[in-house]
Amino acid sequence: MAEKNKIMEKIVSLCKRRGFIYQGSEIYGGLGGTYSCGPLGAELKNNIKQLWWKKFVQDRSDIVGMDGPILLHPKLWEASGHTAGFRDALVDCKECKKRFRADHLVADALGQDLEGQNEQMSELIKKEKIKCPNCGKTNWTAVQDFNLMFKTQINSIEEDVYLRPETAGAIFIEFKNILDSTRMTLPFGIAQIGKAFRNEIVAGHFIFRLREFEMMEIEYFIHPQTDWPPLFENWLKQQEEFIMELGARKEDLRRFEHPKEKLSHYSRKTVDIEYKFPFGFKELFGLAHRGDFDLTQHSKFSNEKLEYFDQEKNERFIPHILEPTFGVERSLLVAILSAYTEEEVAGEKRIVLKFPKHIAPVKVAILPLSKKEELTRPAQEIFDNLKSEFVCQYDETQSIGKRYRRQDEIGTPYCVTYDFDSLDDKSVTVRDRDTMKQDRLKIPELKDYLKEKFTE
Ligand SMILES: [Zn+2]
């Protein structure tokens, strides 16, 4: 376990050192559960979102995209049950003032799952003298519910509004607009990528549990009589396929089906895809059969009929929904964890991020062997020639060996070196990140060579 925690420490430190991810508001002492992406993190995150959008929206004729607002009408959250029910139970240590999730405290101490049973948890915490994980004392408040939505105000209306705790709501309320404006026919999906906010009691594990995060979600609408289990299985496979396209290994994935008695009353089936993080198997993605709950509720609360009309059969009904959900930051974390490699090369340690080439934040580095102008000028010309095709980095400082290591550490698949021989033979050396093999080729052939490498 110590070794595994070390890996998280190494990743956190690499992410900061090389400009992938920083703690949010760091110079002010940090703001828990938030983070910033640095230059490379922003590239990597964009690549992940673009890959998702291409795979699930642009490459499919049965799914369309949308982009809804973060601020949504407060009635939406009444209809969805979030205003009343989106809660976690918390308990405070009166000694050190630390706050914990009561169900996690009880589960960790006694191995019992009493989520939702606040009185029993209050009693048990006292009776079993469960110790505060922070200070070791046993002086607890009663267990209380705590709504996880962030409240805010809009000047012109009296009611509180909320920062959305999930993106799905924005999709349900545009169901009719999208049907009317696109003529999609069942089965079809609506996809969205966007931020969501949850006032988590305990955030943590780097970017695993955040208070502000991004989700990639699809609401897939089906006829209520559809034979849905094969579709459900297919969605799970596609979710697994997506994370493997980011570099995850199949053996680090497993499925967890929520037991029937823990399901929301409307859900027929819910499965989490879990990933073997260094801190244990944890939820990565989710898939739920939500029945007709959402559209029915929003029809009721809005008085707008959110139905589907089948012209051929002259039939009107509320479709059922399959909902695959993907976390952006968890995908980002898995991509970095899967890529992280330490190797021995000629007696030296080499750290490499072996990203699949298509998501690497920098695709090609251009490195003149020395800072002499006779080399830097032509090297810059190569950079200018390649930059419209690939995300490139030009680097002329320090020894070539150090520059290779720097590019390895950020996962750049190819380094192009312009040396003194290049002046005569008009050729450059291309070094492969993973094999460290070097190819010598003529400069005019470089672009096509790299293009081919990236489509392999
Ligand atoms: Zn305490």
Q: How far apart are CA 448 and CA 330, in angstroms?
A: 35
d(CA 286, ligand 1 centre) in Å: 34
- Which amino acid is it at 285? F
Those residues whose beta carbon sits under 5 angstroms from the ion ligand 1 are 93, 95-96, 132, 134-135
Mind listing the pLDDT tens digit of every residue in the chain (456 residues)? 456 669 999 999 999 999 999 999 999 999 999 999 999 999 999 999 999 999 999 999 999 999 999 999 999 999 999 998 889 999 999 999 999 999 999 999 998 888 888 999 999 999 999 999 999 999 999 999 999 999 999 998 889 999 999 999 999 999 999 999 998 999 999 999 999 999 998 888 999 999 999 999 999 999 999 999 999 999 999 999 999 999 999 999 999 999 988 888 888 999 999 999 999 999 999 999 999 999 999 999 999 999 999 989 999 999 999 999 999 999 999 999 999 999 998 899 999 999 999 999 999 999 999 999 999 999 999 999 999 999 999 999 999 999 999 999 999 999 999 999 999 999 999 999 999 999 999 999 999 999 999 998
**Structural Rg of the chain based on CA atoms:** 26
Say how many Å lie between the CA of residue 143 and the centre of ligand 1: 15
Structure confidence at residue 350 (pLDDT): 94
Strand 308-310 relative to strand 21-23, pairing: unpaired
Tell how far the Cα of 102 is from the centroid of ligand 1, in angstroms. 13
Per the structure block, which two tokens stand in for 385? Answer: 């020639």
Using alpha carbons, list the distances in angstroms from residue 325 to 99, 194, 210, 216: 29, 12, 16, 6
Q: Is there a contact between 226 and 187 (Cβ–Cβ < 8 Å)?
A: yes
What is the per-residue pLDDT for 199? Answer: 93
pLDDT at 183: 85
- 89 C-alpha to ligand 1 centroid (Å): 17
What pLDDT shows up at residue 3? 63
Please tell me whether residue 271 adopts helix, strand or coil conformation. strand
Ligand 1 centroid distance, CA of 12 (Å): 27
Give the model confidence (pLDDT) of 140-183 as tens digits: 999 999 999 999 999 988 899 999 999 999 999 999 999 999 98
**Separation CA 179–CA 169 (nearest Å):** 16
Say how many Å lie between the CA of residue 138 and the centre of ligand 1.
Answer: 8
Q: What is the pLDDT of residues 385-395, one digit of tens each?
A: 999 999 999 99
Burial (CB count within 10 angstroms: exposed 0-12, middle 13-18, buried 19+), residue 56: buried
Task: Tell me, in angstroms, the distance from the centre of ligand 1 to residue 103's CA.
Answer: 16
The pLDDT of residue 21 is 97
**Ligand 1 centre from 137 Cα, in Å?**
6
| Spatial CB neighbours of 418, under 8 Å, sequence gap ≥ 6 | 366, 367, 368, 369, 375, 378, 379, 382, 428
Give the H/E segment covering residue 22. Answer: strand 21-23
Ligand 1 centroid, distance to 133 Cα (angstroms): 7
Domains of the chain: 2-71+150-337 (3.30.930.10), 88-147 (3.30.40.230), 362-455 (3.40.50.800)
